[in-house]
Structure 1
């Protein structure tokens, strides 16, 4: 077995990173470089692991994730929920759209407007036209900007403090930092993506909650 194929390499601190506390954010340039390299390797491993799931296993996990997510969302009348179009084996939240709308809520999709800039959110409902956006991810064809009350964010990896390892573009962090009022943010992923720490940096913004098929992690619970 190659070292990079060993899951233990990605579920515990990597070489050199054991010298820092999990919440440490005052790293020097050398440490930031080490963190960036570790994140890149972890990201590649976790995405590969996720994409190797069989269709049957993924369907079973998705049902469990969405059942927990329904309980977590609660009453949605008059509220807008930003979902995401699944990419590279992410859990699929699209089945919730009809339920959200039937419950008096509205849905939106995130849209990459420009590289290294915050995301925009545009309302969308089933049957409305979509077009291909960045990375060929579908986005609403007709712009209908909104500010969501709840944002569902896919996670590549996550830790018990609800910090999210994403794809490395920083879009969600920039978006949350730029929003005039922070929405409730729920990370969505599989339990196999849990890490002992993502080694959060000053720009990392934690999720309020992270939902997997096995558990619901709340930042307030972790902080107590």
Structure 2
């Protein structure tokens, strides 16, 4: 499966596939949810601009600075997820300047975790998660991001998701495809959901809508924020 434009999104083509599951945890007035279609269209357009800006800013961070921030994020992850033995933990392959947590993944695997990588199977479909550890075979997935070629499929106990942006309410701005929200909404048992990124990706609000599911924790180099 290929996708020519990594910023082409479900939001832009106005497809909605995520039920508003777990929305009972958020008061509509508090989250800013509105049924007004013109406002929703404006939010989608605003998000597209913000995504590009935030990705460009992240990619512009000097490599040494990103490495230093990533080490701090890994240290904070160890505090939030202290016991990894026997846990299924979904992480991600670094993309467009994201924190590279493959070192943390290797350490977690050595401590008894079954680490997973998300796999896109189809547009507007939930992700699946396959086990992977360093040295195992990979293949190219959507946007040419490596995915496990042979890993065992599993349901994560913990989901560690990359952030394009985030706000003080722990809402995550992603790449716009809706894959994480759609997946979280369909899982029978809600995992612990952790968003990771750099402090520079913080914005005042993502203007959350009905399909947006907040993170339980967001971790940057400065430490964790709990919802």
**Into which bin does the TM-score normalised by the smaller protein fall?**
0.7 to 0.9
Ranges in structure 1 where 5+ consecutive residues have no aligned partner: 1-20, 220-224
TM-score of the two chains, using structure 1 as the length reference: 0.86
RMSD over aligned Cα atoms: 1.3
Number of equivalent positions: 200
Cα gap change, 1:122 to 1:47, in 2 (>3 Å) = same
1:27 CA displacement:
3.7
User: Are 2:59 and 1:29 equivalent residues in the alignment?
Assistant: no
In 1, Cα distance between equivalents of 2:223 and 2:50:
21
1:215 CA displacement:
2.5
User: Are 2:97 and 1:76 equivalent residues in the alignment?
Assistant: no
Tell me which of 123, 126, 132 is aligned to 1:115: 123
**Which residue in the other structure is 1:158 paired with?**
166
In 2, Cα distance between equivalents of 1:188 and 1:121:
18
TM-score of the two chains, using structure 2 as the length reference: 0.85
Ranges in structure 2 where 5+ consecutive residues have no aligned partner: 1-28
Match of 2:44, SS? helix
In 2, Cα distance between equivalents of 1:27 and 1:138:
38
Computing the radius of gyration over CA atoms, which structure comes out larger, 1 or 2?
A: 1
Tell me which of 77, 80, 90 is aligned to 2:98: 90
Superposed CA deviations along residues 63-99 of structure 1, whole A, max 9, x for unmatched, are 1111111111110111111110000000111111221
Superposed CA deviations along residues 143-189 of structure 1, whole A, max 9, x for unmatched, are 41100110100000001111000000000000000111111110000
Pick 1 or 2: higher relative contact order, CA cutoff 8 A, min separation 6: 2
Match of 2:102, SS? coil
**Which residue in the other structure is 2:185 paired with?**
177
1:1-224 matches, within 5 Å, as: 23-219=31-227
